Structure 1
């Protein structure tokens, strides 16, 4: 059953998020280490898009691809705008400094879940690669979400954040598989194109931009290509 298979691989990302949360609670990474992780995650996600998603949408009708990409870019720009509004209005009371990030990451987790589910519906092999790639992203987001929380917050509440991220990811997978099971053609192509644009936005406007706040080092640059090569080889061997 596609849903069981999709959720079993999504569990990797859920566990990765929890591991990231535990790391952030007990041993918060240095800015340089965060930059290294971001470079590696950017390479992984870029490889997943170029090796898996883009070939799947390449043969579709151009108007379908353009529509999917346009919706993806517009959605990500809207999410970015929403985060600015939340930060500006101090929504979240005593957790205002973290609320914008947590809400945006929650939305991103749901979108990622939908993309994993649709990828499994379209091609299970693609779904496996996308789930593995996004597990690296979720590891970083688990760290970032916990680090953003107030220090005085209890450990249990901090770890609840990556747990909720995992729940949203699994929910996105479940809803997409149940709602789109048996659907083929244009709707699937639009979602895959949407996902490609969303992930490319994540790499260029989030991961690499934030990583760039720390001076580049040969190690961080190399890790981008290590991440890319790891997923590319996984795709070749799968």
Structure 2
């Protein structure tokens, strides 16, 4: 069953989120280490888009691809604006400083989950690569979510954040598979184009922008290409 297979590989990302949260609780990474991980994750996600998602829509009608990309970019810009609005209005009580980030990541988890589900419906091999790539992304997001929380917060509450990320991801996968199972053609192409735009936005406006706050080093730059090559080789060997 597609749903079972999709959820089994999504479990990698769920575990990655929890591992990221545990790392952030017990040994928060240095800014340079965060930058290195962000570069690696950016390379992984870029390769997943280039090797898996874009070839799947290459033969589709241009207007369908443009529509999917446009919706994806508009959605990500809307989420970004929502995050900034929440931060400016100081919403969230004791979580006010992290509320914008946590809501943004939560929405992103649902979108990523739907994308994983759709790729498994379209091509299980593609779904596996996307699930692995997003697991690395979610590892970083688990760290980022916990680091943003108030320091005085208890460990259980902190770890509840990455656990929620994992739950939202699994919910997106389940919803994507159940709603879109049996659907073919233009709707799937639009979702794949949407997902490509969303992930490219993540790379350019989130991972690399935040990584650039720390001076670039040969190691961080190399890790981008290592991440890219790792997923590209995984695709070739799978």
Q: Distance in 1 between matches of 2:89 and 2:58?
A: 42
The CA RMSD measured in Å over matched residues stands at 0.3
Q: Distance in 2 between matches of 1:47 and 1:33?
A: 21
Listed as ranges, the matches of 1:65-104 within 5 Å are 65-104=65-104
Listed as ranges, the matches of 1:210-225 within 5 Å are 210-225=210-225
2:40 paired with 1:40: yes
2:39 paired with 1:13: no
Partner of 1:61: 61
Cα distance, 1:132 vs structure 2: 0.2
Cα distance, 1:95 vs structure 2: 1.1
2:128 paired with 1:128: yes
Cα distance, 1:235 vs structure 2: 0.1
Structure 2 unmatched runs, 5+:
none
Structure 1 unmatched runs, 5+:
none
Cα distance, 1:83 vs structure 2: 0.5
Q: Distance in 2 between matches of 1:47 and 1:95?
A: 34
Q: Distance in 2 between matches of 1:203 and 1:104?
A: 15
Q: Distance in 1 between matches of 2:135 and 2:180?
A: 23
Provide TM-score, normalisation by structure 2: 1.00
Cα distance, 1:94 vs structure 2: 1.5
* Counterpart secondary structure, 1:119: helix
Q: 4+ residue stretches of structure 1 with deviation over 3 A?
A: none
Cα distance, 1:27 vs structure 2: 0.1
Q: Distance in 1 between matches of 2:174 and 2:218?
A: 41
1:169-220 Cα offsets, whole Å, 9 max, x none, are: 0000000100000000000000000000000000001000000000000000
Provide TM-score, normalisation by structure 1: 1.00
1:121-144 Cα offsets, whole Å, 9 max, x none, are: 000000000000000000000000
2:169 paired with 1:173: no
Cα distance, 1:23 vs structure 2: 0.2
Q: Distance in 1 between matches of 2:94 and 2:45?
A: 34
